[in-house]
Amino acid sequence: MLEDKPRETDHLSLVTRLCRHIETAPTPPTLSELASLAGLSPHHLHRVFKATTGLTPKAYAAAHRAQKVRAELARGHSVTDALYGAGYGANSRFYEEAPAILGMTPTAFRAGGVRTTIRFALGQCALGDILVAASDKGVCAILLGDDAETLLHQLQDLFPKAELVGGDAVFEQWMAQVVGFVDAPRIGLNLPLDVRGTSFQQRVWQALREIPVGTTVSYAELARRVGLPNAVRAVAGACAANTLAVAIPCHRVVRTDGSLSGYRWGVQRKRALLQREAESPLFTPDAG
């Protein structure tokens, strides 16, 4: 056994050790197996694990497995090696889950997005240079910076073997909507998004999208909102992994004392976005 039935203060330590066990097990352990290791009943372990991580043991194992298979494919391993290395017992189950995990077919992901067409446009906004890119599912990247060429290189790094093509007239309208949203955030952004990330990241990103314009939350509060009060660092990491600037508003997360911390596109842009949102008037359509 890992240890006897723990006191409440020991739950974090116990669950952390169980998480490491899940991560190193050749196949996802069952709830009964984990309960036996912990010295708890399956029901009690299920409650303790979810209270500590915000996920059930099964969901945690699935999220870790998804992350592992993405890493295996990104390193150039074959699809077969990746799926079995990540603990999938049958390739049919993997292929059923692959679109949600990878955002594309496993073969295309392994090849860096080969045979995937990404439309993009470069422009200027109130925060400097901006790049907007989209797959056939929706906007998959909004990048901010000081140099258009650097932004294009960043897009190529995200989709190294995808076919990058300039946006058409319809896509230019999408670009205009994003730029307009940066300038007047209360108008909202009504565009389809192609959000790619682990289940944990997507959970954090969805919580970010629920933060109202003109308000902020702390990283600790965001962790509580996704049911992970002890995972502040992991939540901050998910914010940093966001590649959809403003559409997924990670700039609305601040330190507990209200001060600004790191931002993928620079703290100055974070400050400017928050100030713009605070000053932006409510959007009132023209009555005509």
Catalytic residues: 250
For residue 118, give every residue at least 6 positions away whose Cβ sits within 8 Å of its Cβ, in sequence order, or none: 133, 134, 135, 140, 155, 159, 162, 163, 164, 165
Tell me if 252 sits within 8 A of 80, measured CB to CB: no
For residue 60, give every residue at least 6 positions away whose Cβ sits within 8 Å of its Cβ, in sequence order, or none: 19, 22, 49, 53
For 140, the 3-state DSSP assignment is strand
φ/ψ of 172, rounded to 5, equals -60, -30
Amino acid at 103: G
- The two three-digit tokens of residue 199, written as one number: 């289940």
Query: Strands, DSSP E only, in the chain?
Result: 117-125, 128-134, 139-145, 163-166, 217-218, 253-254
Report the candidate in 242, 143, 145 with the shortest Cα–Cα distance to residue 195. 242
Report the candidate in 201, 199, 181, 202 with the shortest Cα–Cα distance to residue 190. 181
Secondary structure letter of residue 89 according to DSSP: S
Q: What's the sign of the alpha-carbon dihedral 195, 235, 60, 210?
A: negative
